Amino acid sequence: MSHWFDPQTSLAIDIIKNSKNIIAFCGAGLSTASGIPDFRSPGGLWSQFDPEKYADYNVFLKNPEYYWELERKIGKIFLNAKPNNGHKSLVKLEKKGKLKAIITQNMDNLQQNAGSKIPIIELHGNAQKAYCMDCKKPISRKYINKNLKKSEEIPVCPYCGGRIKTDVVLFNEPLAQDIMKTAIFWAEKCDVMLILGSYLAVYPANQIPLIAKKAGATLIFINNEPTHYDKYATLRMLGKIGSYLPIIVSGV
């Protein structure tokens, strides 16, 4: 049956038509159609790389080689990824004047590449950005990619020889309080929140939809699998974001 005749799709269109201040909350499921594997599902990155070893901040400080091994594995995937229909649909919703901001757990920069101009609050950082932990200077992603390609050594700062870290927030790394405050600001003022491709398993990011709900927002979930907070949804749609979202946006 076409999504056009799905009552959930029709209801989602009606809700969005009557909204004035939509916020999208995005997880890894938004980018899987771009070829970026998610983290927690069977076959995801964490089934191949133990996050307590390869993506833990405390381990990174002592043994950064594990993190850079992970980077060598996924760097090309991120580099070659292109925005998909989900990202493009959010841009269209933005151009309709409905979508006011995007809060994302993703660090792939694909929403920016799709053309979004509204605020994008990156809870877990951006893999395309990096800096030296010692001299604090920004490091270009091109420099990092070149070094990872030509050498098995850990890339070091070209200015001081110090430790490079990408902008990605690792496990047990404190989340920047200003970023979280900004996300809460947008969550509290929205009338509809679209939760797209997140299992809502990571704290404190998973509290953002609950904050929106408490403030009176309608929550619409689109995800391949049930999430940890489906009971708070006004509308839950199980399926591919790239199938549902373009139809919903085109009907608004």
43 burial level (CB within 10 Å; 0-12, 13-18, 19+) = exposed
Q: Does residue 214 sit in helix, strand or coil?
A: helix
Q: Look at the block and give the residue holding tokens 């800096």.
A: 131
* 3 state SS of 169: coil
Distance CA 222, CA 224 (A): 7
Q: What type of residue is 27? A: G
The C-alpha R_g of the chain, in whole angstroms, comes to: 19
Q: Which residues contact 86 (CB under 8 A, 6 or more apart)?
A: 30, 31, 33, 196, 197, 241, 242, 245
Catalytic (active-site) positions: 124
